[in-house]
Amino acid sequence: MLIGADQPDSVEDDLASAYDLQRLQSEPIELLQARAQVYGIADGRPEDAVVAVLASDPRVMLAQRNLLYHRQAGAAAGAARAAQYGLDKIGAEDAHALATGREVKVAVIDTAIDAQHADLKGTVAETFDAVGEGGSEPDSHGTAVAGIISARGLIMGVAPDAQLLSVCAFYADPERNQPVTSSFILIKSFDWAVKAGADVANLSFSGPRDPAVERAISAMAQQGLILIAAAGNGGPEAKAAYPAAYADVIAVSAHDRADKRYAHANRGAYIALAAPGVDVLVPTVGGTHAFMSGTSMAAAHVTGIVALILERAERLNHSRILAVLKKTAEDLGEPGPDEDFGAGRAHALAAVQEVLSSSEHAGEVQ
Q: What are the mean pLDDT values of the chain's consecutive 10-residue runs (366 residues total)? A: 94 94 93 93 89 94 88 52 77 95 97 94 96 75 96 94 96 78 96 98 95 97 97 94 97 96 96 96 91 95 98 92 98 94 98 84 43
CATH classification code of 68-364:
3.40.50.200
Residue 257, pLDDT score: 92
Nearest to 199 by CA among 225, 166, 161: 225
Pairwise CA distance, residues 29 & 48, whole Å: 24
Residue 365, pLDDT score: 37
Residue 79, pLDDT score: 41
In this structure, which amino acid lies at residue 227? L
Residue 169, pLDDT score: 95
Residue 72, pLDDT score: 64
| Ranges of each domain in the chain | 2-55, 68-364
Residue 320, pLDDT score: 96
Residue 75, pLDDT score: 52
Nearest to 244 by CA among 233, 234, 255, 230: 230
Q: Is 6 left (phi over 0), alpha (psi -120 to 50) or beta?
A: alpha
Q: What is the helix, strand, coil percentage profile of the chain, to 5?
A: 30, 25, 45
Residue 172, pLDDT score: 79
Contacts of 289 (CB under 8 A, 6+ apart): 154, 155, 281, 282, 283
Residue 95, pLDDT score: 96
Give the predicted TM-score (pTM) of the model. Answer: 0.88
With beta carbons less than 8 A apart as the criterion, state whether 219 and 61 touch.
no
Residue 68, pLDDT score: 84
Helices (H), ranges, the chain? 11-18, 47-55, 85-89, 92-95, 140-150, 183-195, 211-222, 295-312, 318-327, 348-357
